[in-house]
Chains A and B, each alone.
Chain A
Amino acid sequence: TQLLEQSPQFLSIQEGENLTVYCNSSSVFSSLQWYRQEPGEGPVLLVTVVTGGEVKKLKRLTFQFGDARKDSSLHITAAQPGDTGLYLCAGGRNRDDKIIFGKGTRLHILP
């Protein structure tokens, strides 16, 4: 059974601090995706990483795919209150496969 485990489950930090959240699995994924979800809304795709070792940057967010394509991390620099939300990692074994999700990291940035 594929599982994506995210850590930490909850994170509350002050504005301006840096943070990293993790997504780990014992399975290999063809790609991993990161989504952000706000209350009452569906998840919104932030980035997709496809190649082992790949690093992608989206403004203050840096995403990395592990060399073995089993894990990923999201690093936020100088967090802002607008970064508050539920961060979900997700992946599939191949391009036709279903996408499964981790349980998410609930991030709260204090002003």
Chain B
Amino acid sequence: DAGVTQSPTHLIKTRGQQVTLRCSPKSGHDTVSWYQQALGQGPQFIFQYYEEEERQRGNFPDRFSGHQFPNYSSELNVNALLLGDSALYLCASRHRANNEKLFFGSGTQLSVL
């Protein structure tokens, strides 16, 4: 049983570019959340998807957008990258009715130069 998988593992971009990160949830999970974790900080909630719609959103600008597909996989898109967007981006999955157990992928380390 595969856990949460994210791709790519590392990415280097320059300011102003756009990036797409991908996540496949754990088998049986229908809800995907994305988090941004800056160095030395805890994960910050970006948004959550289930039934292919954004259901909750944290305090992130509209440059951050996402999508969920019918197979529950998800993408995170960031436009007009800033240096401050450099961080570890984590995807977490769970079953919709149970937020007591989040399963995380290993993350995508994004560096913006």
Contact = CB atoms under 8 A, between A and B. Distances in A.
B42 A88 contact: yes
| Secondary structure class of chain B's binding surface, majority of residues | loop
Contact of A48 (B45, B58, B90, B101): B101
Interface residues of A, number: 27
Contact of B41 (A90, A92, A94, A104): A104
Contacts of B41: 103-104
Interface string A98-111: 11111110100000
Contacts of A35: 102
B79 to A, nearest CB: 23
Interface string A5-23: 0100000000000000000
B24 to A, nearest CB: 14
Nearest to A39: B88
A44 B43 CA distance: 13
Given A95-B100, A96-B99, A104-B42, A42 B4 contact: yes
Interface in A25-41: 31, 33, 35, 40-41
B98 interface: yes
A98 B56 contact: yes
Nearest to B94: A99
A103 to B, nearest CB: 4
Interface in B48-67: 48, 56, 58
Interface of A: 6, 31, 33, 35, 40-45, 48, 50, 88, 90, 92, 94-104, 106
Interface of B: 4, 33, 35, 40-45, 48, 56, 58, 90, 92, 96-107, 109
